[in-house]
Amino acid sequence: MSQTPLLDLSGLRKAYPGVVANDDVTFAIQPGEVHALLGENGAGKSTLVKMIYGLVRPDAGTMMLNGTPFAPAEPRAARAAGVAMVFQHFSLFEALSVAENVALGMENPPKPSALAARITEVSNTYGLPLDPNRRVGDLSAGERQRVEIIRCLLQDPRLLIMDEPTSVLTPQEVDILFATLRKLRAEGSAILYISHKLEEIRSLCDAATILRLGKVVARCNPREKTASELAELMVGTSLKPPKSGGAAPGDVILKAQDLSMPSASAFGTPLRNISFELRRGEVLGIGGVAGNGQDELLMALSGERKLPKGSLYFDGEDIGTRPADMRRRIGVLSAPEERLGHAAAPNMSLTENAALTAARRQGMLARGFVNWGAAKGFAEKVIGAFDVRTPGPNVAARALSGGNLQKFVIGREVMQAPEVLIVNQPTWGVDAAAAAFIRQSMLDLAAKGTGVVVISQDLDELMEISDRFAALNEGRLSAEVPTGDLTMEKIGLMLGGAQTTAMEQA
Amino acid sequence: MIWLEKRPAPSRTWSAASPIVAVFLTLIAGGIMFAILGKNPFEALRTIFWDPLFHEQFASFSRPQLLVKAGPLILIAIGLSFGFRAGIWNIGAEGQYIMGAIVGAAVGLALYPSESALIFPLMVVAGAFGGWAWAMIPGLLKVRFGTNEILVSLMLVYVAENILASAAVGWLKNPDGAGFPGSRNLSQWDASANPELIAGTGAHWGVMAAVIAVIFAYVVFTKHILGFHIRLSGEAPRAARFAGVNPSLLVLVCLGLSGALAGLAGLFEVTGPAGQIGIDFNVGYGFTAIIVAFLGRLHPIGILLAGLLMALTYIGGELASFMLSIPGAAIQAFQGMLLFFLLGVDVATHYRVRFGRKGVV
């Protein structure tokens, strides 16, 4: 049966200085199909999707929507043609209500009361209930995504593009989203689903196109392949899962006791009575959807923000009031989520960025004077040990790709032989090979006796590498549970805020 | 179609070349301005840039003036560069300059008519202290209350000017001065004088201090952890806090340092070229130093060269107004254009200009 594809892409090409983002991309999406677009970071998924949505003009190639040529000059044209997109990062104003936000995105918004009624109707029809009068700032990430989806649905789209939609959702919210998408599919709309979550794609999608380095390398039905086969198609080589040293953990090295910290800004998350114990040689995974206090927790543990006495103990010593460089001196190191701007200064060289945290511990300081030769040497060591692809240590941090910079940032801390290492989102936005390397290096560090805290939104990652798991929800930390005892359901509940006390765990 | 595309790393060639290109563009724009004023642009530019150094008649007088004008500009600009690199904007250097002069002069005059050799060194310390203390006001207010240091330091300039006037006609007035406003002439009192150290060059202690400041700043920025922290705070404040920089301490150190250097410049001026505390003691060095700092790319050697260039425009400007009747305001416009073009050309360091069409389907 040959039906007209909903969207037919042929020979699309887009090049930027130094890189060809998309090279001769050709595939088709049928109506009523959920089509997955797979690929690592840097494979060209975002660029391709921006071309479909009218944000970027292709250098060559053609697009056909329902058999007619399709070349949107801007997103408005794409929307008028029936293409809608839900981005990974939302464009919502936190201080305005749901209805106001939706109205802002519309060409001719109806009257507020009519709009509110429409929003309620559509959101209930598709199983994403939403109160149009609530302030967006008060909504969870999953609820905010609903606003974005409703915004799209109100335009009756024929093609809905979703970019990494489940990165901010709990497992239960993922189920709700999938039910909505299946309903849309049943109505004849098509969905272009970008993700690297292979199990989800296998459960939801009918067809998949796999990109690697800008080219289409495979087209398949994801249900007929295993997750590791899909991963290998994405990466091009076979990946080995990380192996832990398997040693038994030692004494408690870091202990948080009723750690509380007010939020720094109106839209931040305060930390509330967080308690945990970290043992030497152990990996403690802290999971949680973004926006529940991960950044704040890292800043509290790293020393960027001070804590009251009695909140944080290192090897029995109270370190809550100590500033960051004093904590580094005793061996408490950290790597924040934001690579450029927080973990590293974007315009400074890797040598200077090495001195950022390693100056004291690696002997680069003498009476206040910096030994730049030693800094360069250390940077070169990190670059070598962590396979950072860069011409040399004098390159500015912003010139590195996300994966390579992340390897440098983590490597910088790991090579300082810390007693405790706290990392936030260690492999976010990083290609699969670099991610595997980083995870293995953290396991190796733990095998040597360092206590490692991994804060991450990627549950698969946490299940792979942590010995114990706790969930961060609205600034509260659940009790730690050994990873072996966990099920997806239990994790989902923990993430949703159900507190398990030590008694209930038995 | 023309658009700007961010470079993957800041361009080093443009970083070095932008002041030169900016000067060049200013010469062209300035020439046009002079032409509109009805003067021959080539003659005007020659009078400003060439004659002060090489004219057979005037040069021997104006050449020493170069260092006299450049000294305080460089000294203040070096101090400012510490703060500016960290994103701490001391706009009130003029006020710190005045207060340094007043406090230093007051301490010296309190000891009049002693001829002790300790008086001048004591005045130097007092001058630095006066400038430092005046800069601590915006500093402490920023650290404690989060006030904007630009506004506070700038407003304090006007306060300082009023204190200067009150000192000149009141509490520092020369008792032997026949009732005229102004303090005793410090450059004529041996114990406090700041004379020309090398004959014919105009190099007084202030110029020496400027050279020492340039060396000091170079060492701090390239080799010392404070310099690294300052650069970090200016470029990536979050990374600076991550690295362990204490932002309040940095504010106080940077404002204090720039205040002290500005106060020193004021002290050297009042004991040397200006000679006395008078109502019109301050001539705008504190503000021009801001331009010098940026023209020099906030780099010590750059500031040295930029200070000399700006001093040249001051002297050349005086010469041009004398010889060609070009109004003084035109020279200030010229100096402003320098800063304008510099900031404009600076874009090229971080962005590439692209022509052509973005993409065809």
Q: Are the beta carbons of B9 and A304 separated by less than 8 Å? A: no
Distances from the Cα of A66 to the Cα of A3, A359, B279, angstroms: 10, 60, 82
What integer pLDDT is reported at residue A505 of this predicted model? 43
How far apart CA A283 and CA A287 sit, in angstroms, is: 13
Residues of chain B with Cβ-Cβ distance to A57 below 8 Å are 358-361
Residues of chain A with Cβ-Cβ distance to B8 below 8 Å are 18, 396, 398-399
Q: Where do we find the tokens 């201090």?
A: B209
Long-range contacts of the stretch B156-159 (C-beta < 8 A, 24+):
B156/B92, B156/B95, B157/B92, B157/B94, B157/B95, B157/B98, B157/B286, B158/B95, B159/B95
On whether the CB atoms of residues B161 and B302 are closer than 8 A, the answer is no
- DSSP element (H, E) containing A219: strand A215-220
On whether the CB atoms of residues B127 and B79 are closer than 8 A, the answer is no
Q: Coil, strand or helix: which one is A371?
A: coil
Residues of chain B with Cβ-Cβ distance to A399 below 8 Å are 8-9
How far apart CA B269 and CA B76 sit, in angstroms, is: 12
What integer pLDDT is reported at residue B157 of this predicted model? 97
3-state helix, strand, coil in chain A (%, to 5): 35, 25, 40
- Tell me which amino acid residue A14 is: K
Record: fold of A7-235: Rossmann fold (3.40.50)
Residue B121 — φ and ψ, nearest 5°?
-55, -40
Please tell me the CATH code under which domain A252-343+417-496 is placed: 3.40.50.300
A-proximal residues of B, 331-360, CB under 8 Å:
358-360
On whether the CB atoms of residues A257 and A311 are closer than 8 A, the answer is yes
What integer pLDDT is reported at residue B361 of this predicted model? 35
Q: Where do the structural domains in chain A lie, given as residue ranges?
A: 7-235, 252-343+417-496
Residue of B nearest to A359 (CA): B225
Q: Average pLDDT for consecutive 10-residue bins of chain B (361 residues)?
A: 76 80 89 87 84 79 88 97 94 97 94 88 96 97 95 97 94 86 87 84 91 96 94 92 92 96 96 90 91 91 93 85 82 83 83 68 35
Q: Coil, strand or helix: which one is B224?
A: strand
Residue of B nearest to A369 (CA): B224
Q: At what angle do helices A432-447 and A402-414 cross, to 10 degrees?
A: 10
**Taking every pair of C-alpha atoms in chain B, what is the biggest distance, in angstroms?**
87
Domains A7-235 and A252-343+417-496 share a fold: yes
Residue of B nearest to A401 (CA): B8
B contact test, residue of A47, A369, A400, A422 with most B CBs within 10 A: A369
Question: Which class is domain B38-326?
Answer: mainly alpha
Instruction: Quote the distance between the C-alpha of residue A210 and its chain's center.
Output: 20
Which of A14, A71, A370 lies closest to B228 in CB terms?
A370
Q: Are the beta carbons of B244 and A325 separated by less than 8 Å? A: yes
How far apart CA A152 and CA A160 sit, in angstroms, is: 8
Encoded tokens for B273? 């070229």
What integer pLDDT is reported at residue A247 of this predicted model? 66
Strands of the A68-69 sheet, one edge to the other? A19-29, A7-16, A60-65, A68-69
How far apart CA A37 and CA A190 sit, in angstroms, is: 13
On whether the CB atoms of residues B234 and B85 are closer than 8 A, the answer is yes
Q: Are the beta carbons of B223 and A370 separated by less than 8 Å? A: yes
Going by C-beta distance under 8 Å and a sequence separation of 6 or more, which residues neighbour residue A369? B223, B224, B225
User: b/e string for A78-116 if b means 16 or more Cβ within 10 A?
Assistant: bbebbbbbbbeebebeeeebbbbbbbebeeeeeeeeebb
Helix (H) and strand (E) counts in chain A: 16, 23
- Of the candidates A128, A152, A151, which has an alpha carbon nearest to the alpha carbon of residue A140? A128
- Name residue B5's beta-bridge partners: B352
Q: Return the number of other C-beta atoms located less than 10 Å from residue B176's C-beta.
A: 5
How far apart CA A33 and CA B168 sit, in angstroms, is: 86
Q: Where do the structural domains in chain B lie, given as residue ranges?
A: 38-326
* DSSP per-residue string spanning B76-133: HHHHHHHHHHTT-----HHHHHHHHHHHHHHHHHHTTT---TTHHHHHHHHHHHHHHH
3-state secondary structure A233-293: HHHCCCCCCCCCCCCCCCCEEEEEEEEEECCCCCCCCCEEEEEEEEECCCEEEEECCCCCC
- Name residue A14's beta-bridge partners: A22
Q: Are the beta carbons of A347 and B228 separated by less than 8 Å? A: no
Interface of A with B (CB under 8 A): 14, 17-18, 56-63, 71, 302-304, 323-325, 328, 336, 338, 341-348, 352, 355-357, 359, 365, 368-370, 372, 395-396, 398-399
Residues of chain A with Cβ-Cβ distance to B353 below 8 Å are none
Encoded tokens for B166? 């009150």
- DSSP element (H, E) containing A184: helix A171-186
B contact test, residue of A356, A371, A376, A395 with most B CBs within 10 A: A356
| Parts of chain A with a pLDDT under 50 | 1, 499-506
What integer pLDDT is reported at residue A245 of this predicted model? 59
How far apart CA A220 and CA A230 sit, in angstroms, is: 9
- For strands A332-335 and A317-318, give the pairing: unpaired
- Of the candidates B351, B240, B254, which has an alpha carbon nearest to the alpha carbon of residue A352? B240
Q: Are the beta carbons of A347 and B5 separated by less than 8 Å? A: no
On whether the CB atoms of residues B4 and B347 are closer than 8 A, the answer is yes
Q: Are the beta carbons of B9 and A396 separated by less than 8 Å? A: yes
How far apart CA B140 and CA B129 sit, in angstroms, is: 16
On whether the CB atoms of residues A447 and A470 are closer than 8 A, the answer is no
On whether the CB atoms of residues A287 and A471 are closer than 8 A, the answer is yes
**Alpha helices by DSSP H, A25-140:** 45-53, 75-81, 98-104, 112-125
Which of A56, A62, A342 lies closest to B242 in CB terms?
A342
- Tell me which amino acid residue B310 is: M
- For strands A60-65 and A7-16, give the pairing: antiparallel
ipTM score of complex: 0.81
Residues of chain A with Cβ-Cβ distance to B242 below 8 Å are 302, 304, 324, 336, 342-343, 356-357
- DSSP element (H, E) containing A314: strand A312-314
